[in-house]
Structure 1
Amino acid sequence: MLKIRGLYKEKKNNVIKDIDIDVDKGSSISIECSNYISDLLVNLILGREVPAKGEIYIEGIKNSQYIKNNINNIGVVLREETFYERMTIDGYMKFFSSLLDSKIDYKEIMLKLALLDIGNMVIKDLSYSQKRRLSLARERLKEPKLLIFQEPILNMDRDGAKIIIENIEDLCSKGTAVMITSVLFKDTIMVGEKAYRLNDEGLSELNNNIEEIDNHKEEIGYTNKTYKIEKIPAKVEERILLFDPTEIDYVESEQGISSLYVRGDKFPCNISLTDLEERLKHFGFFRCHRSYIVNLQRVREVITWTRNSYSLSLDDKVKSSVPLSKGRLEDLKSILKL
């Protein structure tokens, strides 16, 4: 559906370098990148910016030509949007349904986005989460072949995020290709079938399959080691802090750098996530995702967003949420005897 080949663009000291992306019909990808890179990429796809090099195709047609004749086939939910604030939700949806000559019942879309029962509310009185759902509802009226979505769950409440994820999967099941961008690593791997990182070094895939790591351990003859650990070190400026394992809420690895999360604060650690997994498992820690280790004593709830998307809600100072890989769900159930 969306095909990007050899794309290069530099603007205001930000660069999109020689990237290749394919988003097939009925599939979704999520890209971690800065807000500026996200805006630049979206503008390139929509023909608002001209690439320095490379080509973009939508349904096999050059994007500039496709957009001239098929703009209503593309849904776009931007990070920041303006609304007709004095309209009600129902009035807003009815207006766009007429404007787009939509063949779908707008009330059916409102129901999917949990907006039908509050249809009489004025938009200016809506919460941030409700407005984000309204934006997606508006774009669903197009029955888009391609949906571009910036920050679908950033700062969303739990119920709102679940509704957004369910609707993205519903669109994919109907053949829509979905491209998502997010500034947060956790959000990137929570939403989308494939996850990528886009920065000045180019595009790289974030592999979420922990089983590949386990298989690799076996291939190289990795053997378990028993550690007698009383402290886990973290460096802050010129100081080295030593944490008791039980103080740690969870550990995150991003771009090969481990970070300890303790009482809502983040501390860099020079120990690899694989080594930390071995050292901490004797203290009740669990590798819930390729990039996360969690203290099971902090887990309050296992959240099912959709049949393929899960997270763990923690009972820590800031009520953190960390992703849970689908392949690790059964292992967690076994450990917790669920």
Structure 2
Amino acid sequence: MVKHIELFVKDNRLVELQNDLATIVTEDEFQNSIIELNQDTSGFKTYTLKAPLPERLSVREIIKFWCKWYDSKLSLDTVLYECKLFPFNHKKIKKLTTSELKLVHLAKLFLVPETKFIIKEPLQNLSIETKHTVLNLLNELSKYNSIITLTNHTEEALLISNNCYRLTEKTFKPIETSQYEPNHQQDISDSNQLERQQIKRLTVKTNEKTLFLDPIDIDYLEGQDGKVVIHVGNEQYTHDTTLQAIETIIVPYGFYRCHRSYIVNLQKVSEIISWSKNNYSIRLNNTKEMLIPLSRQKAKEIERFFNINE
């Protein structure tokens, strides 16, 4: 197994990622930059998992073609079974759903001779069931290959790998969730900019304005680069404090620290999803696509809020 991956990021900077499966959270512009910098120099093969395929062929036909073309040791039926393609293996490419098509593209990675992949947005626009399958396939691929996934969503990055990095205009650094350890009181003084009001509103000072938010309207809060991003519907507000500091104020309003980097409004929780024994997510009732990470340690603890075991 490869112990590290070397990759060029912005401005031809070479970095070392300490895992066979790593995820970089960055904007689309920087994703494209990473792809361009590495496609000819680092031996990486890029896959968007949405390149055009022959529409008149069936799933079975195109997998059979790839098996022969790449002289794969895997049999046709093995690929169809392992990549969950059997249920629609006779379906024409042009009639596939987005989720089905992405699985077909991912199956190709088990057949090609390359061993170093950059995969762009592997979980984007997928059903919950397909996300589960893709996560399993990525883990299986990483046993024998070096894989870098690119995404603009921290939540998806944390699902894919514990080895996550954030690339911005000025920095490239690991996403250090350990900096949000609970029961630390040293940052409490930072909460002087965000106070609980008698009228049950939160005063949030941003760079541009002062907002008065009703806690019931807040979906969740995310710790990001030492600050807190407050998510309200489709709006996001960045507040200059720490997640630890804001936790002491927001929890009495029915919020819960579900992950080192996330605090969720329990009133907005609609579903707890178990991806594997140690991998969980929370889905909010205002969106089908948005998933909040739920740490393994918190998975059982949160059950008492919903009387799951009663």
Rounded to whole Å, the distance in 1 between the matches of 2:134 and 2:97 is 15
Question: Structure 1 residue aligned with 2:159, among 190, 194, 204?
Answer: 190
Give the CA deviation at 1:144.
5.7
Distance 2:69 2:96 in 1: 23
1:157 to 111, 116, 127: 127
Q: What's 1:120 paired with?
A: 90
Equivalent residue for 1:21, pick from 16, 27, 41 = 16
Tell me what 2:112 maps to. Answer: 142
Q: 1:19 to 1:308 in 2, by over 3 A?
A: farther
Supply the distance in 2 between the matched residues of 1:203 and 1:89 (Cα, whole angstroms).
39
C-alpha change, 1:282 and 1:163, in structure 2 (3 Å) is same
2:28 maps to amino acid? N
Of 145, 148, 161, 1:176 maps to: 145
Aligned-partner Cα distance in 1 for 2:14–2:302: 37
Partner of 2:6: 4
Deviations 1:130-166 (A, max 9, x none): 1111100111123764332111101212111111011
CA distance in 2, matches of 1:34, 1:103: 38
1:320/1:93 CA distance change after superposition, 3 Å: same
Q: Distance in 2 between matches of 1:325 and 1:333?
A: 13
Among 25, 31, 37, the residue aligned to 2:24: 31
Distance 1:322 1:254 in 2: 14
C-alpha distance in structure 2 between counterparts of 1:117 and 1:303, whole Å: 23
Structure 1 residue aligned with 2:201, among 231, 250, 255? 231
**1:282, distance to aligned residue in structure 2 (A):** 1.2
Structure 1 residue 107 displacement after superposition: 2.2
The 8 Å contact of residues 188 and 244 in structure 2, kept in 1 or not, is answered as no
Give the aligned residue type for 1:4: E
> Partner of 1:278 in structure 2?
248
Q: Partners of 2:120 and 2:11 in 1: how far apart?
A: 17
Output the amino acid matched with 2:27: S
Q: Is the 8 A contact 1:234 1:242 kept in 2?
A: yes
Matched residue, 1:333? 303
In 2, the alpha carbon distance for the partners of 1:151 and 1:106 equals 26
Query: For each residue in 1:309-335, what CA deviation from the matched residue of structure 2 results, as whole angstroms up to 9, or x when unmatched?
Result: 221011136663211123332332355
Does the 8 Å CA contact 2:182/2:244 hold for their aligned counterparts?
no
Q: 2:300 & 2:125 partners in 1: Cα distance?
A: 29
The match for 1:42 among 31, 35, 52 is 35
Alpha-carbon distance between aligned partners in 1 of 2:188 and 2:210, rounded to the nearest angstrom: 30
* 8 Å CA contact 2:220, 2:231 repeated in 1: yes
Structure 2 counterpart of 1:266, which letter? Q
**8 Å CA contact 2:202, 2:214 repeated in 1:** yes
1:169 CA displacement: 1.7
Structure 1 equivalent of residue 177 of structure 2: 208
Alignment partner of 2:218 out of 248, 270, 277:
248
Q: Which residue of 2 aligns with 1:59?
A: none
Distance 1:214 1:305 in 2: 25
| TM superposition shift of 1:89 | 0.6
Kindly provide the CA deviation profile for residues 286-310 of structure 1, in whole angstroms up to 9, marking residues without a partner as x.
1112221101122121111233322
Partner SS, residue 214 of structure 1: coil
Helix, strand or coil for the counterpart of 2:6?
Answer: strand
Q: Is the contact between residue 263 and residue 317 of structure 1 (CA under 8 Å) also seen in structure 2?
A: no
Q: RCO greater where, 1 or 2, for CA within 8 Å and sep 6 or more?
A: 1
Residue identity in the other structure for 2:182: D
2 CA distance for matches of 1:135 and 1:253?
34
2:66 matched residue in structure 1: 96
Higher strand share: 1
Question: Equivalents in 2 of 1:221, 1:185: separation in Å?
Answer: 23
Contact 1:23 1:179 (C-alpha < 8 Å) held by counterparts: no
Aligned-residue CA RMSD in angstroms? 3.0
Share of identical aligned residues, percent?
Answer: 21
Normalised to the residue count of structure 1, the TM-score between the two structures is 0.77
Tell me which residue corresponds to 1:66. Answer: none
- Normalized against structure 2, the TM-score is what? 0.84
The structural deviation recorded for 1:79 is 5.4
Aligned to 1:306: 276
- Tell me the SS of whatever aligns to 2:293: strand
CA 1:237 to 1:43, structure 2 compared with 1: closer, same or farther past 3 Å? closer
- Tell me the distance in 2 between the aligned counterparts of 1:43 and 1:238: 36
In 2, Cα distance between equivalents of 1:222 and 1:19:
38
Can you give the 5+ residue segments of structure 1 that lack an aligned partner in the other structure? 9-14, 51-55, 57-62, 64-73
Give SS of 1:251's match: strand
